[in-house]
Amino acid sequence: MAGKINRVGTSRPSTASRVAAAKATRAAAVGSVGGVRRAEVVDEVSRTESPASIAIKSLELDGAKAADLKVRVEANERALDDLKKVQSKAGDIADKAAEATPEGMSAAAGKVDQLLKEGVSIANRKGEEGDFLFGGDETKEEPFVAKKDAKGKITEVNYQGSTDATVENLGSGFTVTTDIPGENIETTGAIGLVKDSRTGGDLFGNLISLRDNLLANEKEAIVERDIPALRKDAEHLVQHFGEVSANQMMLDTVQALAADIESSDGKSMSTVDKLGNIQYALHRALVDNRNFIQQDSFRAID
């Protein structure tokens, strides 16, 4: 088949490089919050005892809660890493379909079927306390249910969780949302884990389509439908990594502030410096994430 194919696998600096950049941004921003380094000039904080520093000493922040929530956010990130691998492997298979033999297409369909099962298992993961990570605020029931045919092949994956996400209060106006609903087909609310109407992501639906088109030897459908759809899934996952990075920075900051406030060694200015940089750090991370999303690293090749 003549023409160009947009590749969506791991051979290009797509999701993996963007995720690495998001994590690097998070590390740099947390460093700036700690007063160790700053990527840009931030207003200097007076070294004299000011009304602001006195007010900061009266902050009431729940460092222990921030630490507990960080455990959940880290579990979310591990699941996202694993879903990214599923998407990337499926992208590699789709890339090679145009040159595959019918026997090769059939074998590739079996691999995609296994990736689909693996993806559903990841999306149904539980946290340390035994609750499901990706059911929104419905954490007691398995969020995704796979419908199978007589041969055990997944034909449909249905989401039975909610689209609501709990806002956690960390004290003194600091809030964070660590919940990720499995999917969201509405126009508002948190971005769904594998499917969202606003991003166009639909990982499970696209894996099913790719598998079925491989079985039917529909190379044109794979090139015209499945490859662009998997590209959207990659972009969709990048947004989640940006949110996770911002959440981790917020929780790290609250923990650091809470520790400083509780200390009795007179280092209140360290706290003032950190608080003065929080807005900058979070803003920097979110701006960089938007820039990653807007870049088109999925280059067409002959």
- Model confidence over 69-115: pLDDT tens digits? 999 999 999 999 999 999 999 999 999 998 999 999 999 999 999 99
Q: Cα–Cα distances in Å, from 166 out to 38, 136, 138, 208, 279?
A: 32, 8, 10, 31, 22
Please give the structure tokens belonging to residue 7: 């590749």
Specify the pLDDT at position 61.
Answer: 87
* pLDDT given for residue 57 in this prediction: 58
Sort strands 5-6 and 183-184 into parallel, antiparallel or unpaired.
unpaired
What is the predicted pLDDT for the residue at 302? Answer: 39
- List, in sequence order, every beta strand (DSSP E) within the chain: 5-6, 144-148, 154-159, 168-171, 174-176, 183-184, 195-196, 300-301
Q: Angle, nearest 10°, between helix axes 203-215 and 227-262?
A: 150
* Nearest in space to 194 (alpha carbons), one of 129, 248, 121: 121
Q: What is the pLDDT of residue 137?
A: 85
Place of tokens 């922040």: 61
Helices (H) and strands (E) in the chain, counts: 8, 8
Neighbouring CB atoms inside 10 A of 180's CB total 26
Cβ pair 168, 176 in contact under 8 A: yes
Q: How many residues does the chain have?
A: 302
The structure's pTM equals 0.74
What's the confidence (pLDDT) of residue 296? 43
> What's the pLDDT at 194?
97
Q: Which residue has the tokens 């769904």?
A: 192
pLDDT value for 31: 45
* Positive or negative torsion for Cα 200, 160, 91, 226: negative
Q: What is the predicted pLDDT for the residue at 289?
A: 55
Regions of the chain short of the pLDDT cut 70: 1-58, 262-302
Structural domains present in the chain: 5-32+59-301 (1.20.1330.10)
Q: What is the dihedral of CA 202, 134, 123, 216, to 10 degrees?
A: -20
Helix, strand, coil fractions of the chain, as percent rounded to 5: 55, 10, 35
Cα(175)–Cα(268) distance, rounded to whole angstroms? 22
What residues form DSSP beta bridges with 157? Answer: 146
